[in-house]
Amino acid sequence: MRALVVTAVEAEADSVLTGLAGPVPHPDPGPGPRPLPGGYLVTRRDLPGIAFDVLAGGVGPAAAAAATATALAVGGGAYTLVVSAGIGGGFVPAAPPASLVVADAIVAADLGAQTPDGFLDVTALGFGRTVHLPPAELAARAAEATGALLAPVLTVSTVTGTAARAAELTARHPLAGAEAMEGFGVAEAAAAHGLPVLEIRAVSNAVGPRDRDAWRIGDALAALTEGFRVLGPVLATWGERHE
């Protein structure tokens, strides 16, 4: 099995790679980072039963979709699974800082139109889809293994920074666990290649008023590392059963 893990920035990719380096005995680090068209770099980790290619694809859904599509096209059909990973905001109290959220739905939360009667997503407008569903069994097993909350993860192009915006999102998506900026873009590219997608987020801050003093980015990156320490065997076992 071979999985493509897409993060936004290098710090997230480094946290994922650190998690994949242990505690599996003697993982093969594989070749060094290799370039892809567009200036992307992919780093490989070979673990028992599964290989991971880790890519920092940029911030936001458009950048994430472009990077993911590029890697999948260059990969020539070698991938079995695509994973969107990184840090994000958590909807408290369900997802406090330093916790993990695994998506049971990947939702484009601000893709649509504002109308006098409220927000309409592109599905309601008849222009496409706003939700991708990861494999239910895989998402549940990943959440159980990592101790994560299993809940929808919202993809936004503008990070929430006010109580009013947080309340609006919560009203539309009352079960949401986290928001981030890349998952739906990664999922769109994966779907175009007929591949399943998973999203895991480590919470760095509460969704709501922007308070940089309350951010716990270091703790979130450490949680992301710990999550990937246990995800390898989970994904490898799932892949064996679904080949």
Q: If you search the block for the tokens 């980790």, which residue do you land on?
A: 45
Structural domain for 221, as ranges:
2-241
List, for residues 22-44, the tens digit of each pLDDT value.
654 444 555 668 888 888 989 99
* CATH code for the domain of 140: 3.40.50.1580
In the 8-state DSSP scheme, what is residue 180? E
List, for residues 97-140, the tens digit of each pLDDT value.
999 999 999 999 999 999 998 898 899 898 989 999 999 999 99
| Cβ atoms 8, 15 nearer than 8 A | no
237 has a pLDDT exceeding 90: no
| Cβ atoms 195, 79 nearer than 8 A | yes
Question: Percent helix, strand and coil across the chain, each rounded to 5?
Answer: 35, 30, 35
pLDDT at site 220: 98
Predicted model pTM: 0.93
Tally of domains in the chain: 1
Q: Is 124 left (phi over 0), alpha (psi -120 to 50) or beta?
A: alpha
